[in-house]
Structure formats: C-alpha cells, structure tokens
Amino acid sequence: MAIAIMLLLFQVVATAILLSRLLKGAIRRPPLQPQPFNPDFSGKVSVVVPTLNEANRITPCLEGLSQQNQELREVIVVDSNSQDGTQEIVKTTSKQDSRFCLITDDPLPSGWVGRPWALHTGYLHSSSDSDWILGIDADTQPQPGLISSLVTIAEKESYDVISLAPQFILQYPGEWWLQPALLMTLLYRFDSAGIDANTSSRVMANGQCFLCRRSVLKALDGYTTAASSFCDDVTLARNIAAKGYKVGFLDGSKVIKVRMYEGAKETWQEWGRSLDLKDAASNAQVWGDVAFLFLVQALPVPLLIITIYLISSGNQLTLLWGLLGLNLFLILLRWGMLFAIAPSYISSSIFFWLSPFADTLAVWRIFLSSIKKPQKWRGRIYS
C-alpha cells in the first residue's frame, strides 16, 4: 500500500512537470518556411558535411545542397577515409558544382569522437569570408531555401546558433513502431522545437542541421569543447548558451528531411546510444530524467493493465482508481502527442499509431544507454 501511495504521488508530480512543458507547444513558433535569396547574405555560409562510408545515402544530401541559393559559399565534405565509394560520389559532384570540395581529415586524435573532429577540421578549412558555419549530416535531404531561411531568421532575431528538427522518413514497420517512442523521450524531457530554453542545461539541438556564427566558434576554439562527446550537438549548444549566446532549436520540417536509420534494429542500436545525452548533462540531470521518463512514459501502459486487473478482481481501493485514472490520462495524452508530431513524418503507418506500446522499451533503451559510454559509433571503435 505504501509503495502504491508513493508511486501515485510521484506520478502526479511528474505529470504536472510534463504538462508544464507540453502546454508551451501551443504557443511555439511555427515551422520554418523556405525563403528566397537575399543578396545581403551572399556567400556568407560555409557548409561542413562529415562523412564515413556514406555512399548509400549521401547523394540526396549533395543534391539538396546544390539547389541552395547564393548564400552558400562552399560545401566542405570532410571524409574519414571511406572505403565504400563516398569520395568518388563527392568528387563527381564537385565537377558539376565548384562550390563543393573534398578533404580527408587527419587520424583521430586522442580524446576526440569522429564527428566533432570532422566538423572541427571543416571549420578550420572554411573560408574566413563566411560569417556562418553550417554542419549538415550526410543522411539529410536539404530542401530548396533551407540556407536562406536559416540565415534570414538568425540575422533577423540575432541568433548565434540555430539547429533544426527535421521531417523524418521512415520505411519499415519496426522503425515506425519504435522511432516515435524514442523521439517522445526527447519531447517529454525538453521543450519542443520552436521554444527557446530558459536555461543552458535544458537547451536542445540537432547536429543534422546546425548553424553557428563563425565568431562564436572562434571564441570557443571551434568544436573542442565537445571533442569527446557522443552527443556533440547538444554539448556544443549548451556550452555556447552557457557563455551567454542566443541559441535556438526550431521546427525545420518544411526545409530539411532525414532518413536516419534502416529498420528498428539500427534505430535501437545507433540512435539509442546518444539519447540519454549524458555527455551534455550532470549525472543528477541524467538520472532525474530517466526516473521522470519511467513515471510518465514507461509505466502508464503496464500500470493501466495491472489496475484494471485488480479492480476487476474485486479490489475497489480508492488508490487503485486514482492510479487507473492518472495512467489512462497519460496514455490518452501520449496518443494526443502523436497527432502533434505527425507533420514531422513523411506519410504515416498504423505502426506509428501503435508506438505508445513501445514506450516502455524506449525508456529501457535510455536507461541502458545511461549506464555506459558507447564503445562503437559509426564504424569506429572507442576504448
């Protein structure tokens, strides 16, 4: 009985916190819209694309960047000695568009993770005439007007950093079921895209599309403050915000798409390794967030089933009715969130609407990721 009372109390508090975050979504900034070319920003952006064996998915990224307006000065593809034909694809693109160039980064130094090292290398090789550095992942599909929209809003509203939440491309039933549940672990913990965080420790960012002023990177010695982070995007954004710069995380579903992983297994293995964000947060914050997710996301379906069984068996304790009502509310809220995030996906699937039944598994993945540091990432082995 005492355990049930404590559980109900903790769930009530966690639900109140959750609602305080989700209600902000009603007044969040609408999705970023493609913008036409602005001559005032001509040649002001250098794009850096880190690659390692991306031949199967880099072509849409390069094609999308080729379609950008004249704000784009150059695209520097920093390759880590790919063996699958990635370099040949980039070289072909560079013959068609002189803004593209390919460089190979030096061997990975001690204390660095591959992605921030490649981004740092690209930043060091970029033109000093570019006011902005835009990190773009090879699995993204930039849409026409992406860079124009980014620079326009950054200059207009004096942002120093802007990253975008994309529109996701999913294909297989397993990923349609699991990926929204994993995404929900982020939406439950942090403010949604389009809402500026109040403190640097709650800043969110997405390295798939990460725009930063050159002057800010220069002040922080490039990407070095996130050198050892497996969630370098969030780590760097929080470090920048902590210095007093203005950081924004916006809805980019109209200007950038992404095909992240192939199937549920790869989604579980690759995305799940970094979703805990432990490299960008204190231990207290990490485990506080894990406990919070257990209360509002992992437990509602199991507790609903258990309380229905106990009540149907003749146990009419008021406490059970309280647990039943609260967890039914949380499940309905979770399904309501699916309607809110549906525009963040291209097309839909019945498995998307069944994703709340993957919530317990998704939170378990966050827990597993929180207890150990990754040893393998994007084809590299780390000690």
Lowest-confidence region among 187-201, 304-318, 336-350: 304-318
Any idea which of 37-46, 161-170, 259-268, 307-316 has the lowest mean pLDDT?
Answer: 307-316
Nearest residue to 223 (alpha-carbon basis) of 118, 303, 144:
118
Question: Mean of the per-residue pLDDT values for the chain?
Answer: 93
- Judged against a pLDDT cut of 70, whether residue 138 lies above it is answered with yes
Q: Poorest-confidence range of 129-138, 254-263, 310-319, 336-345? A: 310-319
CA atoms within 13 A on the CB side of 134: 28
Work out the pLDDT band at 378, boundaries 50, 70, 90: low
Q: What percent of the chain stands above pLDDT 70?
A: 98
pLDDT at residue 230 above 70? yes
The pLDDT of 75-88, averaged and rounded, is: 94
Average confidence (pLDDT) over 10-38: 92
Given a cut of 90, is residue 78 above it in pLDDT?
Answer: yes
CATH number of 1-383: 3.90.550.10
Q: The tokens of 51 are what?
A: 């690659």
Number of C-alpha atoms within 13 angstroms, CB side, residue 28? 21
Q: What integer pLDDT is reported at residue 319 of this predicted model?
A: 81
Q: Which pLDDT belongs to residue 56?
A: 92
Indicate the pLDDT class of residue 68, thresholds 50, 70 and 90. very high
Residue 1, pLDDT above cutoff 80: no
Confidence check: pLDDT of 379 > 70: no
Contact 133, 48 (CB under 8 A): yes
Q: Which of the 8 DSSP states describes residue 345?
A: B
Distance CA 76, CA 102 (A): 6
Using DSSP, state whether 278 is helix, strand or coil.
Answer: helix
What pLDDT is stored for residue 173 in this prediction?
96
Beta-carbon contacts of residue 287 (< 8 Å; ≥ 6 apart): 370
What's the confidence (pLDDT) of residue 208?
Answer: 96
The structure's pTM equals: 0.93
Q: How confident is the model at residue 373 (pLDDT cuts 50, 70, 90)?
A: confident
Question: So what's the pLDDT on residue 143?
Answer: 97
Calculate mean pLDDT across residues 186-205.
91
Residue 338 is predicted with a pLDDT of 96
Q: What H or E segment, with its residue span, contains residue 149?
A: helix 146-156
Confidence of residue 86 (pLDDT cuts 50, 70, 90): very high
Could you tell me the CA-to-CA distances from 304 to 298, 299, 358 in Å, in that order?
A: 11, 8, 15
pLDDT of res. 284: 95
Per-residue pLDDT, averaged over 298-312, amounts to 93
